């Protein structure tokens, strides 16, 4: 049994290719069928490492009775949200506005024209958990479509207009944002901060690195110790918890409890990238090696388990995996990562196991008390229970990691997304800079080369979003362009290769042509010529991933500072003006946009290196050990105003607020020049 998804490249769509549901991928064929047969569309959006997507598939989409109702009365369509974030944003906005919450799997019913009229997230097969059963909903909506068609179509049209108005709220208040918006956002985060356990708000706790980015830059701008400490407390608590893979490095998606202990076990590339940068910046600010060690662990994980052999990085690993190699379809959440006490003793021996179990909170009866689904019975989630320094711990961890590597692995979503790779390239570039580690620079360069070769149509200036299994497809969206431009600036500041700036500029020019709102300012998430969207949005919410507008504003400002191009600066400033109302009214929802705002309103700083490159490394070490969020670093050949070396020596010019200090030719003198630039106590 198979359906049309069998010919797709998306791992998520392929997971459903053998359902009895007559799935279509999103596209003209599905839309034409809906119009020709006069049926509503059932749109199911998810991603391949989504736990509840797997549950709904098993309960409903593999059920032949449910499939019969779906196939008879609807045109069933599957979408991978990671391939089509534009569709996901539009219909998620509807689900959130109509139900008060959102998530995946997302289930939306549309008119044949794509206008939504009913939606939700996970629906159980039968009425339970206070949710109506999926089959009951299907039958009710099929009946309503037959008997109340006019009302549904009228409702769909009204919904789209309401969503259009909702998406434009705050955009009418244009202008400049000042210190008050920054202060307001800081106090909002201060109110929600968990001073005892770190993080913001109650359980479940999600990492939201753009908040950490904002707070560290606010701390630097204002000399505010409290903003700094909120970040450091959070990063330390996350690193100690079960959400941090204590053996293999990297972070799981989120913690279901307030202690960062019980995670939802999927691992996403975008979390690894952003959190690596947060830990690197904490290391710059404090000099505390524990933060650098966590970042190294993230990089080890990505290079070991998420790296394509030819460059580039895969998207995610699933939360679920098989508990028994002989039964690969019998899966449980976290099975790959959790341990029984006896397993650890068998691998390490009594003596080393005693030390390891004390360090990582392992109990003979299991250490998970809150286990509503019974998946952790008698098992242990590793966390840093006690600070113990023992020479056996590193050896024990290596042994257990090797044993774990032989278990059935979680499903790997091996598609390569240009935007998420941009995030990871930035992380590796900053890792190379701050940790002085050449192999991280090599990883960033390898990924840039891969993306340029596989996802960039040179000559046409078209960026594609997704590569998998030899196939590159789907024209990129705003966030892909923005994140890759920002990454190329980071790579340029690592290796000073002029070609990186050249590609960044071409991407910026193309993004401005495709996405810029020339009347209202800012950028749409999708191009104007996209005919399969009922609504064109300007995304601005900085959630688990930063929004395209926030990243684009900062990327253009940085690029303009290095190249001297006013068109990039003006496009960025118009973006900040367009979102001024939202930053003033609810800046806590736009922390990465506020980062761009701080870069724009702060004292600009350029550090220009001239002369022979042999003298650069010692100077770069002095620059990179400091947290200088408002600085750009460039070679003299790329500086808008050429700066000559002094006496033929490697020379550094430090320019702040459009005034340059006397050039220096020694790392010690540069260190003294930079000493007053860091305001974080």
SS (H, E, C) 354-377: HHHHHHCCCCCCCCCCCCCCCCCC
What pLDDT digit, counting tens, does each position of 568-613 carry?
A: 999 999 999 999 999 999 999 999 999 999 999 988 999 999 998 8
Q: Per the domain annotation, does 102 fall within a domain? A: yes
Q: Per the domain annotation, does 464 fall within a domain? A: no
Q: Of all residues in the chain, what percent carry a pLDDT higher than 90?
A: 84
What pLDDT digit, counting tens, does each position of 1-21 carry?
A: 799 999 999 999 999 999 999
Q: Per the domain annotation, does 278 fall within a domain? A: no
User: Among 406, 423, 444, which residue terminates a domain?
Assistant: 406
Q: Of all residues in the chain, what percent carry a pLDDT higher than 70?
A: 97
Stretch 612-637: mean pLDDT: 93
Q: How far apart are CA 375 and CA 378, in angstroms?
A: 9
Q: How many domains does the chain contain in total?
A: 3
User: Among 406, 421, 437, which residue terminates a domain?
Assistant: 406
In this predicted structure, the answer to whether residue 170 has a pLDDT above a threshold of 60 is: no
Give every strand in the sheet of 116-120, ordered side by side. Answer: 24-25, 75-80, 41-46, 106-110, 116-120
Tell me the pairing of strands 659-660 and 651-656: antiparallel
Stretch 254-281: mean pLDDT: 97
Identify each DSSP E strand in 443-549 by its residue range: 456-457, 462-468, 471-475
User: Among 406, 437, 455, which residue terminates a domain?
Assistant: 406
What is the pLDDT, as a whole number, of residue 427? 98
What is the pLDDT, as a whole number, of residue 435? 98
In this prediction, residue 529 has a pLDDT band, given cuts at 50, 70 and 90, of confident
**Nearby residues of 349 by Cβ (< 8 Å), 6 or more positions away:** none
**How many C-alpha atoms does 566 have within 13 Å on its Cβ side?**
0
> Quick check: 411 and 279 in contact, CB under 8 A?
no
Q: How far apart are CA 617 and CA 623, in angstroms?
A: 10
In this predicted structure, the answer to whether residue 361 has a pLDDT above a threshold of 70 is: yes
Stretch 156-173: mean pLDDT: 75
The SS3 call for residue 604 is coil
Domain residue limits at 344: 337-406
Q: How far apart are CA 546 and CA 523, in angstroms?
A: 14
Q: Per the domain annotation, does 440 fall within a domain? A: no
CATH of the domain at 63: 3.40.30.10
Q: How far apart are CA 465 and CA 484, in angstroms?
A: 11
> Quick check: 427 and 277 in contact, CB under 8 A?
yes
What is the pLDDT, as a whole number, of residue 174? 61
Kindly report which listed range (189-193, 544-548, 636-640) carries the lowest average pLDDT score: 636-640
Q: Per the domain annotation, does 671 fall within a domain? A: yes
**Nearby residues of 281 by Cβ (< 8 Å), 6 or more positions away:** 216, 627
In this prediction, residue 22 has a pLDDT band, given cuts at 50, 70 and 90, of very high
Give every strand in the sheet of 412-413, ordered side by side. Answer: 267-268, 316-317, 412-413
In this prediction, residue 639 has a pLDDT band, given cuts at 50, 70 and 90, of low
Stretch 228-248: mean pLDDT: 98
Q: Which of 545, 531, 434, 397 is nearest to 475 (CA)?
A: 531
Kindly report which listed range (64-68, 107-111, 126-130, 324-328) carries the lowest average pLDDT score: 126-130
In this predicted structure, the answer to whether residue 129 has a pLDDT above a threshold of 90 is: no
What pLDDT digit, counting tens, does each position of 44-67 carry?
A: 999 999 999 999 999 999 999 999
Model pTM? 0.96
Tokens 């019969």 belong to 68
Tell me the pairing of strands 75-80 and 24-25: parallel
Number of other residues whose CB lies within 10 A of the CB of residue 249: 22
In this prediction, residue 469 has a pLDDT band, given cuts at 50, 70 and 90, of very high
In this predicted structure, the answer to whether residue 394 has a pLDDT above a threshold of 70 is: yes
In this predicted structure, the answer to whether residue 619 has a pLDDT above a threshold of 70 is: yes
What pLDDT digit, counting tens, does each position of 422-466 carry?
A: 999 999 999 999 999 999 999 999 999 999 999 999 989 999 999
**What Rg value do the Cα atoms of the chain yield, rounded?**
26
Q: Which of 365, 444, 360, 447 is nearest to 397 (CA)?
A: 360
In this prediction, residue 386 has a pLDDT band, given cuts at 50, 70 and 90, of very high
In this predicted structure, the answer to whether residue 171 has a pLDDT above a threshold of 60 is: no
What is the pLDDT, as a whole number, of residue 325? 87
What is the pLDDT, as a whole number, of residue 130? 73
What is the pLDDT, as a whole number, of residue 298? 98
What is the pLDDT, as a whole number, of residue 260? 97
Q: Per the domain annotation, does 79 fall within a domain? A: yes
What is the pLDDT, as a whole number, of residue 466? 98
What is the pLDDT, as a whole number, of residue 285? 96
In this predicted structure, the answer to whether residue 279 has a pLDDT above a threshold of 70 is: yes
Q: How far apart are CA 205 and CA 80, in angstroms?
A: 25
In this predicted structure, the answer to whether residue 372 has a pLDDT above a threshold of 80 is: no
What is the pLDDT, as a whole number, of residue 640? 65
Q: Per the domain annotation, does 647 fall within a domain? A: yes
In this prediction, residue 532 has a pLDDT band, given cuts at 50, 70 and 90, of confident
Crossing angle of the two packed helices 341-348 and 350-359, in degrees rounded to 10: 130
Q: Which of 20, 25, 29 is nearest to 4 (CA)?
A: 25
Output the average pLDDT for the chain. 94
Q: Per the domain annotation, does 489 fall within a domain? A: no
Per DSSP, the residues of 161-213 read HHHHHHHTTTTT--S---HHHHHHHHHHHHHHB-TTT-SBSSSSB---HHHHH
What pLDDT digit, counting tens, does each position of 76-92 carry?
A: 999 999 999 999 999 99
What is the pLDDT, as a whole number, of residue 17? 97
What is the pLDDT, as a whole number, of residue 373? 78
What is the pLDDT, as a whole number, of residue 165? 81
In this predicted structure, the answer to whether residue 678 has a pLDDT above a threshold of 70 is: no
């Amino acid at each position: 049994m198979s359906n049309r998804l069998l010919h797709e490249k998306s791992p998520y769509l392929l997971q459903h290719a053998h359902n009895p549901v007559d799935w279509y991928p999103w596209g003209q064929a599905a839309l034409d069928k809906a119009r020709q047969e006069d049926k509503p569309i059932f749109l199911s959006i998810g991603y391949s490492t989504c736990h509840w997507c797997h549950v709904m598939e098993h309960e409903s989409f593999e059920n032949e009775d449910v499939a019969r109702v779906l196939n008879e009365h609807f045109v069933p369509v599957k979408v991978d949200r990671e391939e089509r974030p534009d569709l996901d944003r539009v219909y998620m906005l509807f689900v959130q506005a109509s139900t008060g919450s959102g998530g995946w799997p997302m289930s939306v019913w549309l008119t044949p024209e794509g206008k939504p009229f009913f939606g939700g997230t996970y629906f159980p097969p039968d009425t339970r958990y206070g949710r109506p059963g999926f089959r009951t909903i299907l039958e009710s909506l099929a009946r309503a479509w037959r008997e109340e068609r006019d009302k549904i179509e009228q409702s769909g049209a009204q919904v789209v207009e309401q969503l259009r108005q909702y998406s434009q709220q705050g955009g009418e208040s244009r202008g400049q944002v000042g210190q008050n918006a920054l202060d307001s956002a800081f106090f909002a985060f201060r109110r929600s901060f968990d001073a005892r356990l770190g993080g913001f708000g109650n359980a479940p706790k999600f990492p939201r690195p753009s908040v950490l980015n904002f707070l560290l830059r606010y701390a630097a701008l204002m000399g505010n110790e409290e903003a700094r400490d909120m970040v450091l407390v959070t990063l330390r608590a996350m690193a100690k918890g079960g959400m941090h893979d204590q053996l293999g490095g990297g972070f799981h998606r989120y913690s279901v409890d307030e202690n960062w202990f019980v995670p939802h076990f999927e691992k996403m590339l975008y979390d690894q990238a952003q959190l690596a940068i947060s830990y690197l910046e904490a290391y710059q600010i404090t000099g505390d090696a524990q933060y650098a060690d966590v970042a190294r662990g993230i990089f080890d994980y990505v290079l070991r388990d998420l790296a394509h052999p030819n460059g580039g990085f895969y998207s995610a690993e699933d939360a679920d995996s098989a508990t028994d190699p002989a039964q690969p379809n019998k899966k449980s959440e976290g099975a790959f990562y959790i341990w029984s006490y006896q397993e650890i003793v068998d691998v390490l021996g009594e003596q080393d196991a005693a030390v390891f179990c004390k360090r990582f909170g392992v109990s003979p009866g299991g250490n998970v008390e809150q286990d509503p689904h019974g998946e952790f019975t008698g098992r242990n989630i590793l966390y840093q229970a006690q600070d113990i320094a023992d020479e056996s711990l590193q050896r024990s961890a290596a042994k257990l990691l090797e044993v774990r590597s032989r278990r059935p692995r979680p499903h790997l979503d091996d598609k390569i997304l240009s935007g998420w790779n941009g995030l990871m390239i930035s992380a590796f570039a900053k890792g190379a800079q701050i940790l002085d580690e050449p192999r991280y620079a090599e990883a960033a360069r390898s990924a840039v080369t891969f993306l340029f070769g596989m996802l960039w149509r040179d000559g046409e200036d078209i960026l594609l979003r997704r590569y998998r299994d030899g196939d590159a497809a789907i024209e990129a969206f705003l966030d892909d362009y923005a994140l890759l431009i920002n990454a190329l600036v980071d790579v340029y500041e690592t290796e000073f290769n002029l070609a990186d700036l050249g590609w960044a500029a071409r991407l910026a020019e193309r993004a401005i042509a495709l996405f810029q709102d020339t009347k209202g300012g800012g950028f749409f998430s999708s191009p104007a010529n996209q005919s399969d969207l009922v609504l064109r949005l300007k995304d601005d919410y900085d959630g688990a991933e930063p929004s395209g507008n926030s990243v684009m504003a900062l990327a253009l400002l940085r690029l303009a500072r290095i190249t001297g191009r006013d068109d990039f600066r003006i496009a960025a400033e118009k973006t900040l003006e367009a979102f001024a109302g939202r930053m003033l009214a609810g800046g806590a929802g736009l922390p990465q946009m506020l980062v761009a705002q701080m870069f724009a309103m702060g004292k600009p700083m350029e550090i220009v290196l001239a002369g022979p490159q042999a003298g650069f490394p010692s100077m770069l070490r002095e620059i990179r050990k400091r947290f200088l969020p408002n600085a750009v670093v460039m070679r003299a050949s790329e500086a808008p105003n050429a700066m000559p070396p002094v006496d033929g020596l490697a020379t550094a010019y430090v320019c702040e607020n459009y005034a340059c200090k006397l050039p220096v030719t020694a790392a010690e003198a540069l260190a003294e020049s930079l000493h007053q630039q860091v305001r974080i106590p």
